[in-house]
């Protein structure tokens, strides 16, 4: 980050996944269990939730003009980032009679990797 940059934590995040869903899916996909279409669709739903998530943040801005003339009050507004810009579109679910082919595995793997390093766009108001 450059000297003029400031990193902040988001105020909140939409699209969170509850720990009960994660725990249930992990135990369903344990060694020796049969992985069902329902399990895969739960996983796909979790990915789709994260693909569409966004963060809220406080954008602070100042009205003072060059030379410190005018209103110097500190102003802020709450905004959201919108969905990640570095992750593709949503993943389609599968039917119970569908064989989970390499293409679906690759689609899930690609989205997983993209979400690990995803980016959001922010609108930084300066005045």
Domain map of the chain by residue range?
15-54+83-116
The residues, ordered by sequence, that sit 6+ positions from 95 with a Cβ below 8 Å of its Cβ are 37
Between CA 96 and CA 41 the distance in angstroms is 10
Query: In the prediction, which pLDDT does 2 show?
Result: 45
Query: In the prediction, which pLDDT does 63 show?
Result: 63
The residues, ordered by sequence, that sit 6+ positions from 49 with a Cβ below 8 Å of its Cβ are 15, 16, 17
Please report the sign of the dihedral spanned by the C-alpha atoms of residue 40, residue 45, residue 46, residue 51.
positive
**84 CB burial (10 A radius; 0-12, 13-18, 19+):** buried
Give the mean pLDDT per block of 10 residues along the chain (127 residues).
55 86 91 90 94 89 66 80 89 88 91 91 80
The residues, ordered by sequence, that sit 6+ positions from 61 with a Cβ below 8 Å of its Cβ are 75, 76, 77, 125, 126, 127
């Amino acid at each position: 980050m450059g000297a003029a940059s400031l990193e902040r934590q988001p105020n909140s995040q939409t699209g969170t996944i509850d720990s009960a869903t994660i725990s249930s899916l992990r135990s369903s996909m344990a060694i020796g269990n049969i992985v069902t279409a329902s399990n895969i669709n739960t996983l796909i739903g979790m990915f789709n939730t994260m693909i569409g998530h966004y963060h809220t943040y406080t954008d602070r801005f100042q009205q003072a003009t060059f030379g410190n003339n005018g209103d110097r009050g500190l102003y802020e507004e709450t905004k959201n980032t919108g969905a990640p810009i570095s992750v593709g579109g949503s993943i389609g679910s599968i039917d119970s009679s569908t064989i989970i082919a390499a293409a679906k595995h690759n689609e899930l793997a690609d989205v997983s990797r993209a979400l690990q390093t995803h980016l959001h766009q922010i609108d930084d108001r300066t005045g």
